Every structure is written in C-alpha cells, then in structure tokens.
C-alpha cells in the first residue's frame, strides 16, 4: 500500500475516532434518555427509536477505528470504511441523532475512506489526480449545503446567530461576552460574525477548483476558525481537518502515466 494512502487513512480515521471519543458520554446519555423517556412519533419506525441501535451505531465503530489506525492493512481499511458508512447512515435516520450534522460529515468521510481502501489501493495511478479532488469536493459540498440555507435576510442581519449564539449558547466564550458587553455591542458582533460565516461558507464552495495543497491549508484554517467560533464544532472541524490532511498527503503521490 502506498505510504501516502496509509497516512491519509490514519489521519482520516484518527479525526473520526477523536470525534467519537469526545461524543461518547453524550451518546451514553442520549441512550439513557431514549430508555427513560421514549418518544413515539409519526415519522420514525420502532427500530430507529431503539436505544441499543443508537449506542451501537454511535460508539461501536470506535473499536474498528482504533484497531484500523494501528498498522493499517487493506482489510482493516475496508472494514473501517464500511463501519463508518453504516454508522453514519444509521445515525442520520435514528430518532435520537438525526438532527446532528456530525453524521452527514461522517457518512461522507466513510465513503472517502472506502475510496482509499478500494480505489487508491488497486489503482495507484488515480491517487494523485482524484484523491485530493474527492476530498475537496466533499468539503465544497458540505459548505454548499451550509451556505445556501443562510442566504437569507435573517442571517445577513445577524438576527439568527444573535439569538442562537450570543443570547442562548451556554459556551464559556458566549457567557463571557454576555457578561462583558452591552446588548448593542453584542448585536454588532453578531452582524459581523454572521456575515463572515455567510461569506466564508459561500467562498469555500470554490475550494474544489483550488490546487490541492493550497486547498488543504485553506480547509485546515477554516476548520480551526469553525472550532474557535464554538467549541462543540469539533464534531465538524476534526473530520474536515482529516480531509485536508488526506488531500495534502495524496497530492504528494508519484505521477503515474
């Protein structure tokens, strides 16, 4: 297996494993609530309200991720890819987790791992031309989804983020801002913050057209910025950093043909 593929895989799986580790106690708690206060609703079939399905899908892949990272082989890579895709798919449609964007990201990262485990291993001539492009295309896709929904007056005026973050968010940074600054200053911050997010997300759709190494650095920087804006956004930032690292390593693959 080419070294760059192994490195890309380790970074990618490592980023997903770190997200799962950090989410472990939250999903344990969600499972307990699913047991203690079950909710019957018109949309979800019984199996997708099941607490054990939730727990297995959320935390089961950890073992495969950690084993896969240790001296990866092709079979470990394929197992990890399959497990990430299934886990992401289940959690995207489970009652207790469907509304978490984390699983959209992990689902598609699972497919990227599948590309590494099958295509990159069997067809090394496609690693350099297609690997970084696929990573960049996935990142551009995430930002397209995020940007389009924010092309509204409410986001441009700052009203939505003012309420969700500056008024409600329990994070330390926002608590500090609420106790330190006046309401009018917080509004101004919300406007600047909101417009920055809309513009950056819209611009990031173009990342698919940028050379791989430049794209890799930009994705890394934007991901760190996302994480800095809210500590809980590690769920999105870490996998993006994994994709950025993969694009970097794969762009170094020798040209074949």
Partner 1 sequence: MDLPVLIAARALRHSRDGLTLALLISLGVYSVLISMLPASTKASELAIRRFHASGWAFASWAMLQPLPWMYNFENRLSVEYERNSVPACQPRSEFVNHQPYGRLFATHDRYWYRECGRARVRFSTTYRGLAIETGYLVEPRRAGTGLVVRRD
Alpha helices by DSSP H, listed for 44-126, are 51-59, 61-69, 74-92, 102-115, 121-122
Question: Using the rule CB under 8 A, which residue among 2, 60, 129, 206 binds partner 1?
Answer: 129
Number of chain residues interacting with partner 1 (CB under 8 A): 66
User: Per-residue contact track with partner 1, 50 to 89, x per CB under 8 A?
Assistant: ---------------------------------------x
Interacting positions 172-231 with partner 1 (CB under 8 A): 208-212
Q: Is 119 exposed, middle or buried (0-12, 13-18, 19+ CB in 10 A)?
A: middle
For the CB of residue 125, give the shortest distance to partner 1 in the complex, in Å. Answer: 5
Shortest separation between residue 90's beta carbon and partner 1, angstroms: 10
CA gap 139, 125 in Å, rounded = 23
Cβ(135)–Cβ(246) under 8 Å?
yes
The structure tokens 């309401």 sit at: 183
Of the candidate residues 82, 144, 200, 217, the single one contacting partner 1 (CB under 8 A): 144
23 is a site residue for partner 1 (CB under 8 A) = no
- Rounded distance, CA 242 to CA 231, Å? 17
Residue 255 is given by DSSP the state P
DSSP 124: G
Residues that bind partner 1 (CB under 8 A): 29-30, 33, 36-45, 89, 92-93, 95-96, 98-101, 104-105, 107-108, 111, 114-115, 118-119, 123, 125-126, 129-130, 132-134, 136-138, 141-142, 144-146, 148-152, 154-155, 159-160, 163-164, 168, 208-212, 236, 257
């Amino acid at each position: 297996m080419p070294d760059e593929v192994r490195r890309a895989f380790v970074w990618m799986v490592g980023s997903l494993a770190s997200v799962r580790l950090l989410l472990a106690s939250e999903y344990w708690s969600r499972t307990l609530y699913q047991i203690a206060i079950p909710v019957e609703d018109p949309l979800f079939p019984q199996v997708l309200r099941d607490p054990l399905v939730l727990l297995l899908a959320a935390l089961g892949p950890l073992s495969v991720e950690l084993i896969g990272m240790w001296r990866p082989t092709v079979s470990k890579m394929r197992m990890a890819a399959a497990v990430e895709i299934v886990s992401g798919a289940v959690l995207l449609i489970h009652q207790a987790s469907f509304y978490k964007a984390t699983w959209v990201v992990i689902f598609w990262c699972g497919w990227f791992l599948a590309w590494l485990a099958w295509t990159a291993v069997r067809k090394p001539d496609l690693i350099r031309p297609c690997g970084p492009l696929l990573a960049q295309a996935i990142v551009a896709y995430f930002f397209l989804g995020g940007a389009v929904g924010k092309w509204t007056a409410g986001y441009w005026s700052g009203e939505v983020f003012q309420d969700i973050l500056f008024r409600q968010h329990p994070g330390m940074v926002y608590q500090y801002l609420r106790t330190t600054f006046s309401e009018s200053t917080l509004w101004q911050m919300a406007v600047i913050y909101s417009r920055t997010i809309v513009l950056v997300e819209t611009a990031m759709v173009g990342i698919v057209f940028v050379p791989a190494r430049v794209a890799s650095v930009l994705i890394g920087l934007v991901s760190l910025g996302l994480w800095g804006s809210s500590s809980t956004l590690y769920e999105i930032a870490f996998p993006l950093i994994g994709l950025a690292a993969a694009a970097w390593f794969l762009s170094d693959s020798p040209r074949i043909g």
